[in-house]
C-alpha cells in the first residue's frame, strides 16, 4: 500500500491487463447464462452490482484512509431500514395509537444523552459531575421507558399479523436510496466521533459491536420495521412480472423475440434493475475517481501513509478520518437500501457478519485495496464465486462420493455439507491473495 508506487507516474487504470481481468469476469457471467440460465446470471449480476458498491464504500475507508471498518453489515442494514421507512405504506391507525408517544420518547432519549454530554463538558471534573451524569442518565432512561413503553405496546398490538408497526412514508422506493446513505452516515458520525481517535483494532471492534447492535435493534423493535416478522412487499421501482405478462404490448414484444412471456418478463424486470444499479454504480465510480485524483485524494493518501507528517503540514487528521468514514459508510448504506429494494423485503435475521461484513472485505482485498476499479472487480468476482461455489462444491463432492454406497453416512454427510464449502473457499482465496499478491488483482497505482 504505502510503497514507492505512489511516486510513479500516474498510469491510467485502463490498460490491457485490467481490461482482460474485467473481460474474464464478464465471461464468468456470460458462461453462467449459457450453462445455467440467463435468469440466474442476471440474479448474480444484480447482486454483484450491489456488492461492487459496498466494496467501493469499504475501499474508500480502507484504501483512501486505512480505516479498518468491520461494521459494514450494520450500515447495510440501516440502508434496508431506510427502504422500509420511506416506501412502506403508513399505518395511520398505529400512528394514532402510539406514534406521538414514540416520537416524544425518542426525543426525550436523545435529550437525555445530550444533557449528559453537556454535563460532562460544562461541569468541573469531580464527584459532583459523576453524580450529575448518573442522575441524568438513570432518570432520563426511566422517563424514556415510561413514555415510549405504552406507545410501543399499543402500536405493536395493532393487527400484529399484518402490520404492528408505524409503517413508512409511502414514497417511491428510489428515494430510499439516498435516505439509506444518510441514515448510515448519521450512524457513522456517532461511531466516528467516539471511536476514530482510538487505535485501529479498537475501531474494528467498535464497528463490529455497533453492527451487532443495529441488527439487534432491527430484530427487536417491532414498531419500527416489524422486527423478525419481516417487512415484505416493499414497492418496486420497476414493473411487476404479472403486470408485464398482462400487458398487450409486452406480449407482442416477447412474441416478436420468439421468447416465452414468463421468462421474458422476469428477465426484463431483472434487466430494469440492472439498468438502475449500473447508473448508480457509474455515478459513484465517476465521483470517487474524481475525488481520488483531486488534491483532496492526495491529501487523504498523504495522511494514510504518514499521519505525523501530514498533521505537521497542518492537515486535520481526525476530521479527515471522520469525513471519509462517514462517506464510505454512506455508500454502504446506499447499497443496503438498493439491496432491500431488489429483495422487496427486509429480513433482519438474514444479516450475518460473515456474509455482509467479512465477505465485502474479501472483495476489497482480492480486487485491490486502494483501487476503485479493483474493488468493483472484486465485488463481481467474489460474489460470483460465493454463489457458484456451492453448486460447484456439490458437483465435486458428488464426483468424490460417486463410488460410495447410496445412503452411506459419510456420503450423505459430505453432500449435506457442500453448502459450507464457500466459507472455506473464501478464506483460502483471501489468504492466498494476501500472501502472494497483497496489493490485489488491480493494485493501487
Residues that bind other proteins (CB under 8 A): 66, 68, 70, 141, 149, 194-195, 198-202, 204-206, 208-210, 212-213, 216, 219-220, 352-354, 358, 361-362, 365, 416-417, 420-428, 430-431, 434-435, 438
User: Which lies closer to other proteins via its Cβ, residue 66 or residue 180?
Assistant: 66
Smallest distance, Å, CB 194 to other proteins? 6
Closest CA to 341 of 399, 269, 392: 269
In the complex, minimum distance from the CB of residue 424 to other proteins, in angstroms, rounded to a whole number: 3
Taking the complex as a whole, how short is the minimal distance between the CB of residue 367 and other proteins, in angstroms? 14
Calpha distance 330→48 (Å, rounded): 18
Q: How near is the Cβ of 358 to other proteins at its closest, in Å?
A: 6
- The upper half-sphere exposure of residue 128, i.e. CA atoms within 13 Å in the direction of its Cβ, equals 6
**CA-CA distance, 177 to 76, in Å (whole number)?**
11
3-state secondary structure of 439: coil
* Residue reference for cell 456488492: 51
**Are 370 and 2 within 8 A, CB to CB?**
no
Q: Which is nearer to other proteins, 298 or 420 (CB)?
A: 420
Burial of 209 by CB count in 10 Å (0-12 exposed, 13-18 middle, 19+ buried)?
middle
CA distances from 140 to 1, 133, 187, 267 (A): 47, 10, 22, 54
Given CA atoms 141, 144, 149, 152 in this order, what sign does their dihedral have?
negative
Helix (H) or strand (E) holding 231: strand 231-232
Shortest Cβ distance from residue 182 to other proteins (Å)? 23
Q: Are 48 and 26 in contact (CB under 8 A)?
A: no
Closer CB to other proteins, residue 112 or residue 425?
Answer: 425
Give the single-character DSSP code of 350: G
- What's the rounded Cα separation, in Å, for the pair 172 and 152? 27
Kindly state the smallest distance separating residue 171's Cβ from other proteins, in Å. 30
Q: Considering only CA atoms, which of 138, 142, 185 is closest in space to residue 330?
A: 185
DSSP per residue, 181-211: HHHHHHHHHHHHHHHTTS-HHHHHHHHHHHH
Q: How far is the CB of 391 from other proteins (least distance, A)?
A: 16
CB closer to other proteins out of 277 and 356: 356
Cβ proximity to other proteins: between 23 and 228 the closer is 228
Q: Residue 149 or 239: which CB sits closer to other proteins?
A: 149
Taking the least distance from each CB to other proteins, the nearer of 193 and 290 is 193
Distance between CA atoms of residues 80 and 337, nearest Å? 4
Nearest of 147, 167, 146, 144 to residue 155 by alpha carbon: 167
Q: Measured between alpha carbons, how far is 406 from 383 in angstroms, rounded to an integer?
A: 33
Q: Smallest distance from the beta carbon of 238 to other proteins, in angstroms?
A: 35
Cβ closest to other proteins, residue 201 vs residue 405: 201
* Nearer to other proteins (CB atom), residue 81 or residue 264: 81
Q: How far is the CB of 430 from other proteins (least distance, A)?
A: 4
Q: Which is nearer to other proteins, 17 or 199 (CB)?
A: 199
Alpha-carbon distance 312 to 310, whole Å?
A: 5
Least Cβ distance, residue 277 to other proteins (angstroms): 27
Amino acid at each position: 500500500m504505502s510503497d514507492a508506487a505512489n511516486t510513479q507516474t500516474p498510469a491510467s487504470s485502463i490498460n490491457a491487463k485490467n481490461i482482460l481481468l474485467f473481460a474474464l469476469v464478464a465471461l464468468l457471467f456470460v458462461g453462467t447464462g449459457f450453462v445455467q440460465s440467463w435468469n440466474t446470471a442476471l440474479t448474480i449480476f444484480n447482486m454483484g452490482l450491489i456488492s461492487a458498491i459496498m466494496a467501493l464504500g469499504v475501499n474508500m475507508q480502507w484504501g483512501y484512509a486505512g480505516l479498518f471498518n468491520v461494521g459494514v453489515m450494520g450500515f447495510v442494514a440501516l440502508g434496508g431500514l431506510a427502504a422500509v421507512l420511506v416506501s412502506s405504506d403508513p399505518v395511520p391507525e398505529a400512528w394514532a395509537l402510539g406514534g406521538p408517544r414514540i416520537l416524544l420518547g425518542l426525543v426525550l432519549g436523545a435529550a437525555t444523552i445530550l444533557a449528559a454530554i453537556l454535563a460532562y463538558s460544562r461541569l468541573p471534573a469531580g464527584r459532583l459531575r459523576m453524580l450529575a451524569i448518573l442522575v441524568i442518565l438513570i432518570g432520563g432512561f426511566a422517563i424514556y421507558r415510561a413514555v415510549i413503553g405504552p406507545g410501543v405496546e399499543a402500536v405493536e398490538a395493532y393487527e400484529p399479523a399484518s402490520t404492528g408497526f408505524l409503517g413508512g412514508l409511502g414514497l417511491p422506493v428510489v428515494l430510499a436510496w439516498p435516505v439509506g446513505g444518510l441514515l448510515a452516515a448519521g450512524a457513522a458520525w456517532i461511531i466516528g466521533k467516539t471511536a476514530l481517535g482510538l487505535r485501529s483494532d479498537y475501531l474494528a471492534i467498535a464497528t463490529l459491536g455497533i453492527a451487532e447492535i443495529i441488527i439487534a435493534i432491527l430484530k427487536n423493535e417491532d414498531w419500527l420495521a416489524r422486527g423478525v416478522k419481516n417487512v415484505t412487499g416493499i414497492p418496486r421501482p420497476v414493473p411487476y412480472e404479472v403486470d408485464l405478462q398482462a400487458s398487450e404490448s409486452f406480449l407482442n414484444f416477447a412474441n416478436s423475440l420468439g421468447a416465452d412471456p414468463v421468462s421474458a418478463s422476469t428477465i426484463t424486470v431483472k434487466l430494469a434493475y440492472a439498468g438502475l444499479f449500473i447508473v448508480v454504480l457509474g455515478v459513484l465510480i465517476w465521483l470517487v475517481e474524481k475525488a481520488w485524483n483531486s488534491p483532496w485524494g492526495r491529501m487523504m493518501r498523504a495522511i494514510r501513509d504518514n499521519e505525523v507528517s501530514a498533521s505537521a503540514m497542518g492537515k486535520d487528521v481526525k476530521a479527515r478520518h471522520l469525513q471519509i468514514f462517514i462517506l464510505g459508510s454512506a455508500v454502504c448504506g446506499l447499497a443496503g437500501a438498493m439491496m432491500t429494494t431488489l429483495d422487496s423485503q427486509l429480513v433482519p435475521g438474514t444479516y450475518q457478519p460473515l456474509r455482509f461484513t467479512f465477505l465485502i472485505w474479501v472483495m476489497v482485498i482480492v480486487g485491490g485495496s486502494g483501487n476503485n476499479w479493483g474493488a468493483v472487480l472484486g465485488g463481481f468476482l467474489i460474489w460470483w464465486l460465493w454463489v457458484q461455489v456451492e453448486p460447484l462444491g456439490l458437483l465435486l463432492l458428488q464426483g468424490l462420493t460417486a463410488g460410495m454406497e447410496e445412503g452411506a453416512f459419510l456420503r450423505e454427510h459430505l453432500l449435506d455439507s457442500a453448502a459450507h464449502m464457500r466459507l472455506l473457499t473464501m478464506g483460502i482465496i483471501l489468504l492466498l491473495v494476501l500472501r502472494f499478491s497483497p496489493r490485489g488483482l488491480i493494485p493501487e497505482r
